[in-house]
Structure 1
Amino acid sequence: MTTPAVNLDTSTVLSVSDLKVHFRVSRGGLPWSGKATLRAVDGVTFDVRRGETVGLVGESGCGKSTLARAIVGLVPVSAGSVQWLGAETVHAAGHATRRDTTQLRRDVQMIFQDPLASLDPRMTIEQIVAEPLTTHRPGVGREDVRRRVLAMLERVGLNSQHLRRYPHEFSGGQCQRVGIARALIGEPQLVICDEPVSALDVSIQAQIVNLLRDLQRELQLSMLFVAHDLAVVKAISQRVLVMYLGRVMEFGDRQDVYKTPRHPYTRALLSAVPVPDPAIEKARKHLLLRGEIPSPLSPPSGCAFRNRCPEAIDACASETPLPLTRGTGTARIACIRVGAD
Structure 2
Amino acid sequence: MPDFSPTQYAVPLFVIAVLAEMLWAKFRSPQAYEPRDTLVSLAFGLGSTVAGGLFGGLAIYLFIAAYDYRVFDFGTEWWSIWWAWPLCFVLDDLKYYWVHRAGHRIRWMWASHVNHHSSQHYNLSTALRQSWTGAFTFGLLFALPLILLGFHPVMIAICGGFNLIYQFWIHTEAIDRMPRWFEAVMNTPSHHRVHHATNPRYLDRNYAGVFIIWDKMFGTFEAERDDEQIRYGIIKQLGSFNLLWAVFHEWIGMIGDIWRAPWKHKLSYLLREPGWSHDGSRDTSDTIRQRWRARTGQINQTESVARRNLIADPGEAA
TM normalised by structure 1 equals 0.27
Higher helix share: 2
Higher strand share: 1
TM normalised by structure 2 equals 0.29
